[in-house]
């Protein structure tokens, strides 16, 4: 498999685009009210082991600051910056003395420079047989809300935006991140706007996680809803803070709970999937959006790649739940690899409706149940899994985490919600 990576800079001039290839371009004179695109495209890169840098350095007229919106361009796990890292200097320093470093496909950034200068750098060590990720960056003198978007990149809006809210399920899977430092593990406010916390019996204490899949339906695990009645359940959306001491986000009552008919809580853990119908439809915004469902990924092989799991679960077996939403990237295991760990476990059998992720020193834990595992495709998060079960302790690498395979239940979701879901991926 060849390694593909290059950069393109596009100058947006109204309805006309002038494209030229740049790598290492400096001292670019940025024109007022024009938007420049700095992005990765599929072009052959140097041989494996080669390290090189691509630059975007320029200046605007005196007195003008420069807006930059960057979003990951591909799926790749590189939390430790082993292969690729993205640097930007808030002051436009071309020596990058004050540079902030990003790596890994979950990071994105949106900032305005402190001066009229901009300095962006991508440092890349080419591994063997890996398609490397890059960053799609939009650079210009207008504010971020005016920066041009593409089919796969959506400009985050502010909380006070006057734009008409979207009602389309095709506006799915887009992060709304604040600046992130690689490996931080704590999600910024509304970074994952489909993330749902499930509360029971009027308490502030979180019970499970879930994901918004339309403006009236939440996807979660069946074991989270066993013996529950709708009047005892509500969800909280639009926040990364949930817990005894937190009151942010929007709370919505649940009017209906649908558990898969073949889920048996005392027999195996198969068909661990449920739907919650919200009593009121929610309005999409930068804080509340659905995740995409994996319609066109049903036959894709994600073994060996990394998925992002989000939740408010505890960070250890005997520790309290987190009040701040956390994320972690975990490697998706093959079916054959997973069943080795659970062979001879009686009722706890790995079925074709499940898949597993390897646990490093940290994994999903108490309180993460029902939450989503997503992968990225063309700038969108696609939900492949629902956190289902695993053996304690949750930090034991010999006990992989197990997920419900969402691709096997798409027809069931459609039949029960009567919704039309977007097949964007």
pLDDT at 152 (0 to 100): 28
Q: Which comes out higher in pLDDT, residue 84 or 71? A: 84
Domain with CATH 2.60.120.290 in the chain: 18-140
Q: What confidence score (pLDDT) does residue 123 get? A: 77
Active-site annotation holds for 33: no
Q: What is the pLDDT of residue 243?
A: 64
Q: Please check whether residue 243 is in contact with residue 204, taking contact to mean a CB–CB distance below 8 angstroms.
A: yes
DSSP code, position 145? G
> Is the predicted pLDDT of residue 14 greater than 60, yes or no?
no
Per DSSP, the three-state class of 213 is coil
45, 75 Cβ separation under 8 angstroms? no
The active-site residue, picked from 78, 270, 272, 368, is 272
Task: Kindly give the pairing relationship between strand 25-29 and strand 51-59.
Answer: parallel
Its CATH architecture, for the domain 299-417, is Beta Barrel (2.40)
What stretches of 250-344 adopt beta strand conformation (E)?
250-259, 274-278, 306-311, 326-331
Query: H or E stretch including 341?
Result: helix 335-341
**Can you tell me the mean pLDDT for 278-288?**
90
Residue pLDDT, tens place only, 116-147 = 999 888 877 665 545 555 567 778 876 544 33
Residue 110 clears pLDDT 80, i.e. is over it: no
Query: Which of 2, 1, 44 minimizes the C-alpha distance to 21?
Result: 44
More confident residue, 97 or 347: 97
In this predicted structure, the answer to whether residue 362 has a pLDDT above a threshold of 80 is no
Percent of the chain with pLDDT over 70: 68
Distance separating alpha carbons of residues 122 and 6, to the nearest angstrom: 10
Structure tokens at 262: 């073949």
Indicate which residue of 89, 369, 388, 401 is catalytic. 369
How large is the average pLDDT for residues 373-392? 87
Mean pLDDT of the chain: 74
Nearest one of 99, 95, 94 to 111, comparing CA atoms? 99
pTM score, two decimals? 0.63
Q: Beta-strand (E) ranges in 176-279?
A: 195-200, 206-212, 217-220, 233-237, 250-259, 274-278
Q: Which CATH class is domain 18-140?
A: mainly beta
pLDDT of residue 223: 93
Cα distance between residue 379 and residue 271, in whole Å: 29
Strands (E), 46-144: 51-59, 67-72, 84-89, 100-102, 109-112, 117-125, 135-140
Outline which parts of the chain fall under CATH 2.40.10.10.
Answer: 195-278, 299-417
The pLDDT value given to residue 339: 85
Which contiguous run of DSSP H or E holds residue 337?
helix 335-341
Calculate the alpha carbon distances from 335 to 109, 176, 358, 362, 401 in Å.
35, 33, 12, 21, 12
Cβ count within 10 A of residue 187: 22
DSSP for residue 20: E
- Active site (annotated) includes residue 272: yes
pLDDT for 244-270, tens place per residue?
555 678 899 999 999 999 998 776 789
Classify 411 as helix, strand or coil: helix
Query: Does an H or E element contain 325, and which?
Result: none
* Six-digit token string for 94: 């071309």
In Å, what is the CA distance from 8 to each residue of 25, 123, 285, 308, 367?
A: 11, 15, 31, 28, 43
164-175 residue pLDDT tens: 334 456 779 988
Q: Is 124 a catalytic residue?
A: no
Q: What pLDDT is attached to residue 246?
A: 55
Nearest to 292 by CA among 402, 421, 166, 388: 421
What pLDDT does residue 8 have? 36
Q: Give me the CATH topology for the region 195-278.
A: Thrombin, subunit H (2.40.10)
Catalytic residue among 71, 223, 260, 381: 223
Residue 42, CA atoms < 13 Å, CB-side half-sphere: 5
């Amino acid at each position: 498999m060849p390694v593909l990576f290059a950069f393109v800079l596009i100058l947006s001039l109204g309805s006309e685009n002038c494209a030229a290839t740049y790598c290492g371009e400096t001292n670019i004179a940025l024109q007022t009210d024009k938007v420049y695109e700095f992005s990765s495209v599929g072009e052959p890169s140097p041989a494996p082991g080669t390290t090189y840098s691509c630059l975007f350095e320029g200046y605007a007229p005196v007195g003008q600051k420069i807006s930059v919106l960057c979003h990951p361009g591909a799926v790749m796990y590189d939390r430790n910056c082993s292969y690729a890292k993205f640097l930007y200097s808030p002051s436009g320093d071309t020596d990058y003395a004050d540079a902030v470093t990003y790596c890994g496909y979950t990071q994105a950034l949106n900032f305005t420079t402190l001066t009229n200068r901009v300095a962006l750098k991508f440092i890349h060590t080419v591994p063997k047989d890996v398609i490397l990720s890059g960053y799609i960056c939009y650079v210009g003198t207008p504010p971020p809300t005016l920066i041009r978007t593409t089919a796969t990149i959506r400009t985050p809006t502010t909380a006070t935006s006057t734009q008409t809210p979207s009602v389309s399920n095709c506006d799915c899977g887009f992060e709304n991140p604040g600046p992130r430092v690689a490996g931080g593990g704590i999600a910024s406010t509304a970074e994952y706007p489909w993330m749902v916390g499930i509360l029971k019996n009027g308490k502030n204490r979180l019970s499970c996680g879930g994901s918004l899949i339309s403006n009236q339906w939440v996807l979660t695990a069946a074991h989270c809803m066993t013996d529950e009645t709708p009047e005892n359940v509500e969800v909280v959306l639009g926040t990364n803070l949930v817990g005894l001491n937190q009151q942010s986000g929007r709370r919505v009552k649940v009017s209906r709970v649908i558990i898969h008919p073949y889920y048996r809580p005392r027999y195996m853990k198969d068909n661990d999937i449920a739907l919650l119908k919200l009593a009121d439809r929610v309005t999409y915004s930068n804080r509340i959006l659905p995740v995409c469902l994996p319609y066109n990924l049903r036959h894709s092989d994600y073994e060996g790649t990394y998925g992002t799991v989000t939740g408010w679960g505890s960070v250890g077996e005997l520790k309290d739940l987190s009040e701040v939403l956390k994320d972690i990237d975990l490697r998706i295991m093959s079916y054959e690899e997973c069943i080795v760990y659970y062979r001879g476990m009686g009722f706890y059998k790995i079925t074709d409706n499940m898949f597993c992720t390897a646990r490093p020193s940290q994994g999903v834990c108490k309180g993460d149940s029902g939450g989503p595992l997503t992968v990225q495709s063309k700038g969108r998060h696609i939900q492949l899994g629902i956190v289902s079960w695993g053996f304690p302790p949750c930090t034991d690498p010999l006990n992989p985490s197990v997920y419900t395979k969402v691709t096997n239940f798409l027809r069931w979701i459609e039949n029960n919600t009567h919704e039309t879901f977007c097949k964007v991926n």
